[in-house]
């Protein structure tokens, strides 16, 4: 197959939502349709032995939440689909923000009872910044929730995007009968089943009296009224408006009961964008260019705890990647070749010989060769725009709880910090290590993973800090003066850059006023 055809059949997207809206369950059902798995797993797995494919980390199985982005690829009706299932919990938002730089479109999952929640709003802002096309899946329609029209208004107000329903629920809760697929003009009748697809009927004309036979007189009348209102209020669906990020198609269904998911998938593969051009600092890189380019957007330590290996996730931006071919690592300015690049199904990996623009591959990284944001090319000097690390909001000293395991702790902290889920600062005054995160839950995850993956014990000690700021100045003497005056608040980050640890907003403001020649940065990209 020609390069251009391979690229055109790629669909790389992320599934995002607030925690508990059903994102991982939806991922499972999409994998089921793709034939990638044969039995869908459960996220809340107390009694059910099969856990969700994308929640493969031990802590995810125990907590019933996703704490890291999973990558899964499969073929469906001639298309190659790459799904990235992201954590919904706000403590892991940075992982999700980075993931959004590696996808061409997004599916947002919204709970019909809860509507738009805080995290959904934040993630939508990131999509808006990048004009990423968005499809909305309203989940749990087999439970009682908001009136669908009220929900559509809420989606428009809260997410600041125009919407257009492409399927419509027939009742909800216990009276839920199914959905009318507006896009394909089909009637999909609901039979609750977690593993089997429900029957669907061609139904172009909903004024036909046959409708009553399937869903009853009252629901048939209601559906006709709703459809009249939809066609009167909402503009016809426009693919270009969707692709430019101005319009979000809306589907209704129940991921848990496997309902409305196939309709979503069928429409998605038809309308979603294939890989799009990506802007580097030097120029715009088009996917159909023959030369390979890609960037690292995520690093995961210990995907296989037996081998203590790190895997760098590389999004291919253009051309074709081949195994055992030399590529240039731009930051190190050296040639590298990879003998075992992998394709993913969450934790399961298989070696690939080639991959194309839009694909996500794993590159083994045992020696800490990669960091997030690194660019790989066939030789051209390119830099893809960096993926920022934001200033952490919570800080704790990390101390070794088992002196016999100092080496394991050192290695564990090093590898987990390379993932970018948290940041390490070394206080220059007392030499103590400080971990900074955006949420409390990350401390628990780090402690759990150090113990279970590295056999190292740590304990946290409190420290009162307000903000970590990266500092720089064109005037060396001013910088030295600042570092002397603020010696007990100075630290170095993992890259050896100067960081000022302000213990209150007032201290930070005074420092900014007293040292006008110093620039303070609140994200690591500057």
* CA pair distance 238, 104, nearest whole angstrom: 18
Nearest to 255 by CA among 141, 123, 385, 375: 141
State residue 63's pLDDT score.
Answer: 46
Confidence of residue 257 (pLDDT cuts 50, 70, 90): confident
State residue 35's pLDDT score.
Answer: 65
* CA pair distance 142, 523, nearest whole angstrom: 43
Nearest to 384 by CA among 289, 283, 478: 283
Q: Which CATH architecture has domain 280-377?
A: 3-Layer(aba) Sandwich (3.40)
pLDDT in tens, 216-250: 788 788 888 888 888 888 888 899 999 998 999 99
* CA pair distance 286, 113, nearest whole angstrom: 42
Q: Does residue 293 carry a pLDDT above 90?
A: yes
pLDDT, the chain, mean: 80
State residue 95's pLDDT score.
Answer: 62
Give the contacts of 233 (CB within 8 A, at least 6 positions apart).
none
Q: Does residue 450 carry a pLDDT above 70?
A: yes
Confidence of residue 433 (pLDDT cuts 50, 70, 90): very high
Which range of 112-121, 267-276, 367-376 scores highest in mean pLDDT? It is 267-276
State residue 56's pLDDT score.
Answer: 39
Domains 9-271 and 280-377 share a fold: yes
- Cβ proximity of 92 and 264 under 8 Å: no
User: For the chain, what are the domain ranges?
Assistant: 9-271, 280-377, 394-521
Q: Does residue 371 carry a pLDDT above 90?
A: no
Task: Supply angle C-alpha 265, 106, 116, rounded to 5.
Answer: 100
- Judged by average pLDDT, the poorest of 195-209, 228-242, 255-269 is 195-209
Chain-centre distance of CA 397, in angstroms? Answer: 29
Q: What global pTM score does this model have?
A: 0.75
* CA pair distance 4, 320, nearest whole angstrom: 10
State residue 64's pLDDT score.
Answer: 46
State residue 207's pLDDT score.
Answer: 67
Q: Does residue 282 carry a pLDDT above 60?
A: yes
* CA pair distance 120, 22, nearest whole angstrom: 13
Q: Does residue 67 carry a pLDDT above 70?
A: no
State residue 292's pLDDT score.
Answer: 92
CATH number assigned to the domain covering 9-271: 3.40.50.300
* CA pair distance 10, 320, nearest whole angstrom: 13
Task: Give the burial string for 257-294 (b: 16+ CB within 10 Å, else e).
Answer: bbbbbbbbbbbbbebbbbbbebebeeeebebbbeebbb
Question: Which two tokens mark 394?
Answer: 């919570």
State residue 500's pLDDT score.
Answer: 93
State residue 99's pLDDT score.
Answer: 75
Where is pLDDT greater, at 290 or 39? 290
State residue 201's pLDDT score.
Answer: 64
**CATH class of the 394-521 domain in this structure:** alpha beta
Where is pLDDT greater, at 210 or 482? 482
Q: Does residue 124 carry a pLDDT above 80?
A: yes
Q: Does residue 315 carry a pLDDT above 50?
A: yes
* CA pair distance 90, 214, nearest whole angstrom: 43
Residues in the chain, overall count: 526
Q: Does residue 493 carry a pLDDT above 70?
A: yes
State residue 220's pLDDT score.
Answer: 82
- Judged by average pLDDT, the poorest of 42-56, 85-99, 435-449, 454-468 is 42-56
- Cβ proximity of 458 and 400 under 8 Å: yes
| Helix H or strand E segment including 347 | none
- Judged by average pLDDT, the poorest of 197-201, 376-380, 495-499 is 197-201
Quote the percentage of the chain above a pLDDT of 70.
81
């Amino acid at each position: 197959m020609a390069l251009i055809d391979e690229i055109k059949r790629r669909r790389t997207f992320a599934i995002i939502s607030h925690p508990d809206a059903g994102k991982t369950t939806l991922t499972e059902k999409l994998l089921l349709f793709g034939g990638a798995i044969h039995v869908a797993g459960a996220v809340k797995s107390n009694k059910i032995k099969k856990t969700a494919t994308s929640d493969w980390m031990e802590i995810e199985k125990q907590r019933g939440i996703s704490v890291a982005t999973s990558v899964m690829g499969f073929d469906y009706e001639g298309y190659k689909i790459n799904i990235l299932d992201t954590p919904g919990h706000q403590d892991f938002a940075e992982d999700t923000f980075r993931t959004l730089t590696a996808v061409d479109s997004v599916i947002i999952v919204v709970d019909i009872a809860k509507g738009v929640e805080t995290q959904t709003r934040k993630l939508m802002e990131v999509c808006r910044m990048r004009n990423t096309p968005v499809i909305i899946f309203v989940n749990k329609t087999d439970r009682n929730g908001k009136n669908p029209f009220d929900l559509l208004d809420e989606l428009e107000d809260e997410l600041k995007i125009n919407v257009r329903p492409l399927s419509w629920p027939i009742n909800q809760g216990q009276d839920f009968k199914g959905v009318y697929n507006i896009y394909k003009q089909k009637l999909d009748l609901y039979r609750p089943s977690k593993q089997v697809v429900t029957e669907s009927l061609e139904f172009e004309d909903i004024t036909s009296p046959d409708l009553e036979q399937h869903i009853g007189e009252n629901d048939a009348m209601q559906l006709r009224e709703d459809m009249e209102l939809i066609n009167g209020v909402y503009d016809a669906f426009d693919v270009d408006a969707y692709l430019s990020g101005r319009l979000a198609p809306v589907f209704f269904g129940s991921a848990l009961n496997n309902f409305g998911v196939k309709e979503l998938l069928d429409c998605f593969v038809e309308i979603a964008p294939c890989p799009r051009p990506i802007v580097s600092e030097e120029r715009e890189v088009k996917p159909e260019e023959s030369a390979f380019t890609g960037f690292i957007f995520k690093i995961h330590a210990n995907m296989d705890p037996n081998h203590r290996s790190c895997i760098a996730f590389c999004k291919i931006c253009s051309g074709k990647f081949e195994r055992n071919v030399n590529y240039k690592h731009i930051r190190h300015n050296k040639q590298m070749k990879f003998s075992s690049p992998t394709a993913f199904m969450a934790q399961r990996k298989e070696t690939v010989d080639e991959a194309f623009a839009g694909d996500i591959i794993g590159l083994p990284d045992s020696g800490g060769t990669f960091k997030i944001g690194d660019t790989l090319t066939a030789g051209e000097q390119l830099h893809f725009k960096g993926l920022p690390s934001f200033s952490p909001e919570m800080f704790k000293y990390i101390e070794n709880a088992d002196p016999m395991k100092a080496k394991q702790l050192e290695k564990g902290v090093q590898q987990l910090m390379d993932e970018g889920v948290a940041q390490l600062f070394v206080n220059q005054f007392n030499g103590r290590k400080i971990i900074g995160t955006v949420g409390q839950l990350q401390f628990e995850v780090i402690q759990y993973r150090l113990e279970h993956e590295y056999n190292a014990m740590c304990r946290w000690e409190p420290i009162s800090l307000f903000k970590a700021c990266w500092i720089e100045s064109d005037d060396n003497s001013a910088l030295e003066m600042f570092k002397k005056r603020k010696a007990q608040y100075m630290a170095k980050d993992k890259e050896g850059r100067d960081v000022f640890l302000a213990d209150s907003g007032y201290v930070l403001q005074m420092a900014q006023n007293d040292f006008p020649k110093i620039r303070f940065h609140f994200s690591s990209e500057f």
